[in-house]
Amino acid sequence: MTSSSTLTAAELADYLDSVGITGKVATPRQDNLRHMRLFLEGNEHLEFGVRLTREWTLDDVFELMHERVGTSSDLEHLEGQDTIDSRKCVASLDRFAERFGASVREKQRILFATGHPAGLLPVHAALAAAAERGGATVVRVPEGQPFGDGDIRQLFGVLVWHQYGGLVHTHYPEPMRLSLKLLASQGAPLPELVVADHGWAGHAASAGIPTMGFADCNDPGLFVSEAQGQLEVAVPLDDNLCPGLYEPMTRYVLERAGLG
């Protein structure tokens, strides 16, 4: 496959399976099951800032993850490898592309953020660059807002958490809350769309901002948020592979959005 090739939906699904973005993914089954329980318990690393609007049981979340992600429906499958259905991923990418393209054509204010900078930062950066080329406004947040032992920075139009000279993998919703609070303190309008992942996406959706996000099979919070009508689109995929592997997926989204 060359970098300039155009993929059909079926070809993209095959590609995603071939590189492990979907299909038999690296995330262990036992990790997925444990994260479902911890999410329901309100674990600070897994609640993602998602505001529950109904009572969810473990069975509810288990069934939801099979339905929306493609994880195994076998109740006896307790450890080993789990799966993400490439067809579900591509269907979500199609919805993502349609919504993203409409937002750019309407020249909306779009905020990008990632808690997985080692994997998804280039994806968000490519989307941000395409949004600006299309006439949308990439929301800029003044850098240096303290968080933890670091601060919030913006690289290539994408908000990230920096700490000790590096970019940090984080599930916390607090960086998004702080960023939105900073915008409000300056009298800046809220984003009209947020494109993010992890707690960045979960908090924005719970705050009522139109939001789309990427989520792994051990990130039940964003799929619950989508099922509750908060998050507009949750794209199921392995979210921490080598960045270059996502390039065909990113091109597909931009082409479907009319921005390729």
Residue 220 pLDDT exceeds 80: yes
- What value does the mean pLDDT of the chain take? 96
Q: How many residues does the chain have?
A: 260
Q: Which CATH architecture has domain 1-260?
A: 3-Layer(aba) Sandwich (3.40)
* Cβ–Cβ under 8 Å, residues 197 and 215: yes
| Contact status, residue 260 vs residue 251, Cβ threshold 8 Å | yes
Q: How do beta strands 81-84 and 211-215 pair?
A: unpaired
- List CB contacts of 91: < 8 A, sequence separation 6 or more: none
Residue 32 has pLDDT above 80, yes or no: yes
And the tokens for 185? 């303190």
- DSSP per-residue string spanning 104-140: HHTT-EEEEE-S-TTTTHHHHHHHHHHHHHTT-EE--
Contact 129, 175 (CB under 8 A): no
pLDDT digits (tens, 9 = 90+) for 84-112: 999 999 999 999 999 999 999 999 999 99
Residues 6+ apart with CB under 8 A from 36: 58, 61, 62, 65, 220
DSSP string, the chain: --TTPPPPHHHHHHHHHHHTSSEEEEEEHHHHHHHHHHHHTT-TTTSTT---SS---HHHHHHHHHHHT-----TT--SSEEEE-HHHHHHHHHHHHHHHHHHHHTT-EEEEE-S-TTTTHHHHHHHHHHHHHTT-EE----TTEEETTEEEEEETTEEEEEETTEE-----SHHHHHHHHHHHHTTPPPPSEEEEEHHHHHHHHHTT--EEEEE-TT-HHHHHHHHTTSSSEEEES---S-GGGGHHHHHHHHHHTT--
Whether 2 shows a pLDDT value over 60: the answer reads no
| pLDDT at 1 > cutoff 90 | no
170 has a pLDDT exceeding 90? yes
pLDDT in tens, 119-148: 999 999 999 999 999 999 999 999 999 999
Q: Which residue is associated with the tokens 């009209």?
A: 192
> CA 227: distance to chain centroid?
15
Q: What is this structure's pTM?
A: 0.96
Q: What is the pLDDT of residue 260?
A: 83
**Residue appearing with tokens 């199609």:** 94
Contact partners, residue 149, CB within 8 Å, separation at least 6 = 163, 164
Mean pLDDT, residues 224-229 taken together: 98
